[in-house]
Chain A
Amino acid sequence: MPAAYLDRMMKPLHRWVWADPDRRVRKLLMFAEVETDGGRDIVRAAEITPDPLLRRLYLEHAIDELRHGDLFRDRGAALIQTHPARSGGLFGGTPLPGGHGLDDLAIDGEPDYRLLAFLHVAEKSAAGRFEIYRDVVPDDPSTKEIFEQILRDEVFHMNYTYTQLVRIAPRTYRRHVWRARASRLWNRYLRVAAGITSVLGATMLTLMYFVLLPPFAWLAKRAERREGAGWRAISGDRRDAPSSQY
């Protein structure tokens, strides 16, 4: 259980994060998005599985996830009312960045055994995290109660995903669970790698912006000053050049 062990080691950090009202709100609202997204993914799984029992179970699971999303959202909204954000930067005037449930697992085309294994591992990991979060918010009984409710549901989710995996893949279920764990690790690596690449890319482009663009910016601003506001005649809609991207 290295991941769970690591999480427990990080408990003081989690306590520090959750102690800040702004971060607490942001966390809850992000969880709301992730749970809702995950719920929608599981709805999709229910819609495409050929197995009637799985369809019923997936639907129950999805309803739970969507309800969890509502619980987190309502709690986050309630906290905003009682603890207005310190800065407008909490939202910045745009919607919050949504999470993508189930680590962007593509539901369409995935066999049920792979999805069940993935769900089982994801639920187990989430349960471990939520247990820690429950313990670091003793000052906030309402939030603590939400984590407790969700943890009760996670037990059902972990049980049914494992039992059904054993039912539909009795000889290979262990391999699927290990593959799901490996796939989560790989996805984490990819996320970190993509994050680093993105930062490097942004740094390079920012350097280019300040080094290369000033003369062109001067020209562009000069050209803009010559443009009048309001209507401009369209010189022709390039119907003679249908294959041009310009």
Chain B
Amino acid sequence: MYLCLLAKTFKQQFVYRSDLFFRTLGGILRLYIQVCIWTALLDQGAAEITLTEMVTYIVVALLLTGLIHSTISYTLAERVRQGTIALDLIRPVDLRTYLLCTQLSENLFSLLFSSLPVVLVAVLFWGVIWPTLPNLLFFLLSAGLAVLLMFLIEYAIGLLVFWVKDGVYTDFLIHGLFSIFSGTTIPLWFYPEFLAKIAYRLPFRLITFEPISIYLGRYQWEESLRVIIWQCFWIVIFFLLAVLIWRKIQKSIFIQGG
């Protein structure tokens, strides 16, 4: 069933070919801007990181954010607002699985067709670091867990929309917290101590920062393992949270309009 959904989403996405072109162009521009910023910063000396490492960081971060990109909390909100959520609830498919599947296929699509050209540009113009095999394996595992974790966070917070009734809030909230505490645009190594401390207590760093650190070979394998255990821990937490909220909702659901 999942494969069927995947194929359908791919087909749907292909319809907008010019859209794809612009998205790729956007990705390349973003990469270029980031590289320029870091070139200017690292030129000033004082660095525990080389430019090639940083370029690699940016590229992998771009791929990961492409993979975890999610409009789930927004979609949920739209459906609640329009009342079509009622239909989703009586479908014979679990809402959570359905949302994850469509989102994931959309992301795989954009990974294949609009992120790969960006990677190619990075490799040709600046060069990137390739990981060792064990690091790569650890990275793939933790990237997979990161996708799952981000999805569960989006889903759990997105469910709050049943009370607040407007997805804009939940969406902004997640993305605001994410961009400050995930270390996606600025690696947490460069954070002032008090902010880094907060970031280490929150789950957001596990989504891009930690997998990339593994990829770059910054961790011994015990440390990599610790990252993966933390990821599992947060996955369980958000899974339970989502189940709890879902229970509450089922008791008090109130459908608008219908």
A binds B: no
**Which residues of B are at the interface with A, using a C-beta cutoff of 8 A?**
none
